[in-house]
Amino acid sequence: ATRAMIIDGKAFAASLVDRITTATAALIADHGITPGLAVVIVGEDPASQIYVRNKGETTARAGMRSETHRLTDTTSQDELLALVQTLNDDPGIHGILVQLPLPSQIDSSAVLGAIDPDKDVDGFHVVNAGRLAVGLPGLVPCTPLGSTLLLKDRLGDLSGLHAVIVGRSNIVGKPMAQLLLAENCTVTVAHSRSRDLPALCRTADILVAAVGRPETIRGDWIKPGATVIDVGINRVPALDPARAAEGKTRVVGDVAFAEALDVAGAITPVPGGVGPMTIASLLANTYVAACRAHGIVRSA
Ligand code: NDP
């Protein structure tokens, strides 16, 4: 059997960031508009701290204005809502991202719902979910957007392909289904209540794993030659038992990668697949939001 092609999300994301950087320089030179992204983090969650730092650094490197608002984990919902309002009203800020999860005293949906939908670069506002569902221009969640860009780069026209998405969350599974439907795929969305998941997966030309459980999708669940997008980020004990005993960890996806390599046509690795595309898509959304705010028709 031939081995699957490994989709280099890191390289593709770097080229996308390069294109956005060039487009941003042009936006500044031609229109005097610097796209601005505000990232808000509440509390000390270590994974969130890393994500937020990466987002801030990548934004600044692309030539955009980047600001990070760090609030303590005792911040009240009203305080957070007041900050969101200030950012909504700031004409120099085109994108607002509130890093999840939020502490338990804060209702996440109230906060996400308070963000101006045209600045909602995470695409989580119900207005943007609705726009995506009915095919209006809006802002699309970054992880599904990045995953779709990888698929189109690899496969070209996706029309008529059967896509099976495992996972139905509002931030990954559902918007991924909408995007692939818009690309004229036949879409199946599977979840924890689906019957005979392995057989369902074996019908997929495109298999998207957004399960949040390590190595759930096995090699024999994959149709030979299928394109596999592994969205999962799961921290598990290191392979070496001595290192595992010291508490060392490694990151694996939702797909059993080594098994999948012998069956799939192409597959995204974890790390280095979908993850870097998520942050590149955030920059793309911020650039698009800045253009739209000023009525400029361009695309990165
Ligand atoms: P959620 O936990 O919100 O959703 C998981 C989905 O998987 C649910 O719909 C659930 O079904 C389904 N599921 C869980 N167990 C099974 C099972 N055994 N069989 C079939 N379906 C199952 O996760 P997210 O969508 O937020 O994230 C998914 C993964 O992607 C996580 O690993 C997360 O870390 C990663 N992620 C990666 C990002 C990136 O930048 N690369 C960004 C965002 C997430 P049900 O609805 O029935 O409960």
162 in the same domain as 71: no
Measure the CA angle with vertex 227, ends 204 and 190; round to 5°.
Answer: 40
Q: Structural domain of residue 103, as residue ranges?
A: 32-117
Q: ipTM score of the complex?
A: 0.99
103 in the same domain as 204: no
Question: Is 206 annotated as ligand-binding?
Answer: no
Catalytic-residue membership of 178: no
Give mean pLDDT, residues 77-91. Answer: 98
Q: Which of 99, 118, 120, 223 is catalytic?
A: 99
Binding-site residues, ligand 1, Cβ < 6 A: 143, 166-169, 171-173, 190-194, 197, 210-213, 216, 231-234, 254, 274-275, 278
Give mean pLDDT, residues 241-249. Answer: 96
pLDDT tens digits, one per residue of 253-290 = 999 999 999 999 999 999 999 999 999 999 999 999 99
- Predicted TM-score (pTM) of the model is 0.97
163 in the same domain as 98: no
Which ligand 1 atom is nearest residue 274's CA? Answer: 41
Give mean pLDDT, residues 79-101. Answer: 98
Give mean pLDDT, residues 36-49. Answer: 96
| Residue 195 lies inside a defined structural domain of this protein | yes
Mean pLDDT score across all residues of the chain: 97
Give mean pLDDT, residues 218-226. Answer: 98
255 in the same domain as 149: yes
The reported pLDDT for the residue numbered 225 is 98
* Whether residue 135 has pLDDT greater than 70: yes
Question: Is 168 annotated as ligand-binding?
Answer: yes
Judge whether 146 and 274 are in contact, CB under 8 Å: yes
Question: Which three-class secondary structure string do you get for the chain?
Answer: CCCCEECCHHHHHHHHHHHHHHHHHHHHHHHCCCCEEEEEEECCCHHHHHHHHHHHHHHHHCCCEEEEEEECCCCCHHHHHHHHHHHHHCCCCCEEEECCCCCCCCCHHHHHHHCCHHHCCCCCCHHHHHHHHHCCCCCCCHHHHHHHHHHHHHHCCCCCCEEEEECCCCCCHHHHHHHHHHCCCEEEEECCCCCCHHHHHCCCCEEEECCCCCCCECHHHCCCCCEEEECCCEEEECCCHHHHHCCCEEEECCECHHHHHCCCCEECCCCCCHHHHHHHHHHHHHHHHHHHHCCCCCCC
pLDDT tens digits, one per residue of 56-69 = 999 999 999 999 99
Give mean pLDDT, residues 201-215. Answer: 98
The reported pLDDT for the residue numbered 2 is 81
* Whether residue 298 has pLDDT greater than 80: no
| Residue 19 lies inside a defined structural domain of this protein | no
Number of domains in the chain: 2
86 in the same domain as 148: no
| Residue 135 lies inside a defined structural domain of this protein | no
The reported pLDDT for the residue numbered 299 is 56
* Whether residue 82 has pLDDT greater than 90: yes
The reported pLDDT for the residue numbered 297 is 84
| Residue 22 lies inside a defined structural domain of this protein | no
162 in the same domain as 246: yes
| Residue 215 lies inside a defined structural domain of this protein | yes
> How many other C-beta atoms are found inside a 10 Å radius of the C-beta of residue 289?
22
